[in-house]
């Protein structure tokens, strides 16, 4: 459905990786589906010195590399909408030049002042670019709307996030600012809301009376690749937990919103964040585990450890794995532990939410230990998107032995239903002015506040261990100690790569 108004989309950091891998391919997908407005111009801006044509040809290459293309002539049509201007980000005069370029494109294509500014730059520029844009009045909405899209991380910790918030609000209104968290753009993350609030069978069970614990995993098989420089100042906690994983917690734990209004939904997520039980400084070592991958052999090939990666300090203590146990102190979740973990160089790429239901009150049948956790609802966010319900069934034959079986739905079973990429969905929402799937300042600040004791302890307390784990394994074994019931462990949807290959369930 195309209900977007004509506008100019400016991407700062246009020569970067995100632009080429995600943003431009997503805009191209919108173009192919006729979801861009009739008049649309993409203006790339970054330090590199390209002509419009050079930029077009780089983006053409990227689209062909990162998208399945049926018809290259459509790519040629799309890249005609692309323009480029080089900019030195902290130079005042450069913004006047940018403003002039925008004005001339508006005139050439007969577009009013509607403009989106996407900051796909190093986070250190998130405070600078919006200020400079305001200095040349590119924040003013008298001739059309102006929107500012900011990539994560929003701030480096609570203090810097507050400073950034205040700086932005000097020149921009809250409703002009879209803090992107691409997890919220994932179809399957949004489906958490639908699974919970459109099915009468789940909702009555979705609370402390029936749920034993909740487990959320986001595992990646890749290492930091070429992003060592960025990752060194981030680590798993800031890169994944503060934003993506806590947003998934929010959607899993929130109350039903009164409507699908963005404010109603985001209010409920915020309430979850406000109910997170603060972690005491002295408890950090008991509820948070950090790890760093070590060199090992994966499928016969030696892969480097984190400290050997490009841009990483040889004695780096940055965590590439983080696991946390916490509670949400409210009526629904009182006493239910939440376990979340994320890591790079784990055996596979998988993101999933696992709802572990309480066991039956009395074991009538001979059940093995595994069946203590018989009933699980696994919401697979990626890959192999789908939902799996695990339950006990009588093993055929004499006696009453119970075995665990699966009832599974795979998105791939829906024929002709393509899952749009997260960026496709979110970029389109920014064009429509729909902020439902973007993080509000208060949410971001609550998330930082919650993690502050862990951040500080990991930074200052030399006695808190940083565990090494061989690349291709499920992270430090000590993370199993977080799980309260010692008969249970994390769910391991795939074997370690050190075993004979990878076996994935679902």
- As annotated, the active-site residues are 244
* Helix H or strand E segment including 66: helix 52-66
Q: What is the DSSP letter of 16?
A: S
From the CB of 317, what's the least distance to ligand BG6, in Å?
Answer: 18
User: In the structure encoding, which two tokens stand for residue 48, read together?
Assistant: 């590199």
Touching ligand BG6, residues 334-353 (CB under 6 A): 351
Q: Which helix (H) or strand (E) holds 252?
A: helix 246-253
| Residue 94 vs 224, nearer CB to ligand BG6 | 224
With respect to ligand BG6, which residue has the nearer C-beta, 215 or 220? 220
**Which CB sits closer to ligand BG6, 239 or 268?**
239
CB of 487 to ligand BG6, least distance (A): 30
Q: Give the shortest CB-43-to-ligand BG6 separation in angstroms.
A: 24
Residue 271 CB, nearest distance to ligand BG6 (Å)? 25
The H or E element spanning position 61 is helix 52-66
Region 351-370 residues binding ligand BG6, contact defined as CB under 6 A: 351
Query: What DSSP string runs through 353-387?
Result: EEEEEPPPSS--SB--GGGGG--EEEEEEESS-EE
Examine residue 220 and tell whether it contacts ligand BG6 (CB under 6 A): yes
Distance CA(216)–CA(324), nearest Å, equals 10
Q: How many residues of this chain bind ligand BG6 (CB under 6 A)?
A: 3
Binders of ligand BG6 among 102-131, rule CB under 6 A?
A: none
- By beta-carbon distance, which residue lies closest to ligand BG6? 239
Q: 457 near 285, Cβ under 8 Å?
A: yes
**C-alpha dist (Å) from residue 176 to 18, 117, 162, 263, 305:** 22, 10, 17, 14, 42
Nearer to ligand BG6 (CB atom), residue 215 or residue 239: 239
- Among the listed residues 489, 490, 506, the one whose alpha carbon sits nearest the alpha carbon of residue 379: 506
- Written as six digits, the tokens of 279 are 């972690």
- Minimum gap (Å) between residue 361 Cβ and ligand BG6: 38
At a CB cut-off of 8 Å and minimum separation 6, what does 283 contact?
none
The answer to whether the CB of 37 falls within 8 A of the CB of 69 is: no
Give min distance, CB of 220 to ligand BG6, in A. Answer: 5
| Backbone φ, ψ for residue 78 (5° rounding) | -65, -45
Which run of H or of E encompasses 189?
helix 187-197
User: Which CB sits closer to ligand BG6, 151 or 268?
Assistant: 151
* E strand segments, 153-223: 177-179, 211-219
Q: DSSP letters along 303-359, please?
A: E--GGGSTT--TT----SEEEEEEEB-STTTTT-EEEEEEESS-SS-EEEEEEEEPP
Tokens of 358: 């309480």
Cα 332 to chain centroid distance, Å, stands at 25
Q: Minimum Å distance from CB 123 to ligand BG6?
A: 11
Instruction: Give the nearer residue to ligand BG6 in terms of CB position, either 241 or 497.
Output: 241
* 45 burial level (CB within 10 Å; 0-12, 13-18, 19+): buried
Give kind and range of the element (H or E) at residue 115.
strand 115-119
Nearer to ligand BG6, 239 or 309 (CB): 239
Give whichever of 134 and 350 is closer to ligand BG6, judged by the CB atom: 350
Output the smallest distance, CB 418 to ligand BG6, in A.
17
Q: Which is nearer to ligand BG6, 324 or 426 (CB)?
A: 426
Per-residue tokens: 185 = 């753009």
Smallest gap from residue 186 Cβ to ligand BG6 (A):
7
Binding site for ligand BG6 (CB under 6 A): 220, 239, 351
């Amino acid at each position: 459905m195309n209900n977007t108004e004509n506008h100019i989309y400016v991407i700062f950091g246009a020569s970067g990786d995100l632009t080429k891998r995600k943003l431009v391919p997503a805009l191209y997908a919108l173009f192919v589906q006729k979801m861009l407005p009739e008049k649309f111009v993409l203006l790339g801006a970054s330090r590199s010195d390209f002509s419009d044509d050079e930029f077009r040809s780089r983006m053409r290459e990227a689209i062909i590399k990162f998208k399945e293309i049926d018809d290259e002539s459509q790519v040629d049509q799309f890249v005609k909408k692309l323009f480029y201007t080089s900019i030195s980000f902290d130079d005042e005069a450069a913004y006047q030049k940018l403003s002039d370029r925008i004005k001339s494109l508006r005139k050439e294509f007969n577009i009013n002042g509607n403009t989106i500014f996407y900051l796909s730059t190093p986070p250190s520029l998130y405070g600078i670019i919006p200020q400079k844009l305001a200095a040349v009045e590119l924040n003013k909405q008298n001739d059309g709307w102006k929107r500012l899209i900011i990539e994560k991380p929003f701030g480096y910790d609570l203090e810097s996030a507050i400073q950034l918030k205040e700086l932005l609000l000097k020149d921009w209104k809250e409703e002009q600012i879209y803090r992107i968290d691409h997890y919220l753009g994932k179809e399957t993350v949004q489906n958490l809301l639908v699974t919970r609030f459109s099915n009468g069978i789940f909702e009555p069970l979705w609370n402390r009376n029936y749920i034993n614990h909740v487990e959320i995993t986001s595992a990646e098989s890749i290492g930091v690749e070429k992003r060592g420089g960025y990752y060194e100042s981030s680590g798993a906690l800031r890169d994944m937990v503060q934003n993506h994983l806590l947003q998934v917690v929010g959607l899993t734990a929130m109350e039903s919103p009164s409507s699908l209004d963005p404010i109603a939904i985001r209010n409920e997520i915020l309430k979850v964040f406000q109910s997170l039980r603060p972690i005491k400084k002295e408890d950090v070592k008991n509820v948070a585990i950090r790890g760093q991958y070590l060199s090992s052999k994966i499928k016969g090939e030696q892969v480097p450890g984190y400290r050997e990666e490009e841009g990483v300090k040889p004695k780096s203590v940055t965590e590439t794995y983080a696991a946390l146990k916490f509670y949400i102190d409210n009526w629904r979740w009182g006493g239910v532990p939440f376990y979340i973990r994320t890591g790079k160089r784990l055996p596979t790429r998988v993101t999933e939410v696992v709802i572990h239901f309480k066991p039956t009150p009395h074991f009538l049948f001979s059940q093995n230990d595994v069946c203590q956790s018989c009933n699980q609802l696994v919401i697979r966010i990626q890959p192999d998107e789908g939902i799996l319900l695990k339950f006990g069934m009588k093993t055929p034959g004499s006696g009453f032995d119970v075995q665990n079986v699966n009832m599974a739905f795979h998105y791939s079973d829906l024929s002709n239903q393509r899952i749009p990429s997260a960026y496709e969905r979110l970029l389109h929402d920014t064009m429509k002015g729909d902020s439902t799937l973007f993080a509000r300042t208060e949410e971001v600040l609550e998330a930082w506040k919650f993690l502050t004791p862990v951040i500080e302890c990991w930074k200052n307390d030399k006695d808190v261990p940083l565990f090494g784990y061989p690349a291709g394994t499920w992270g430090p074994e000590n993370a199993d100690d977080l799980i309260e019931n010692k008969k249970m462990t994390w769910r391991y949807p795939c074997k370690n790569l050190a075993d004979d290959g990878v076996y994935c369930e679902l």
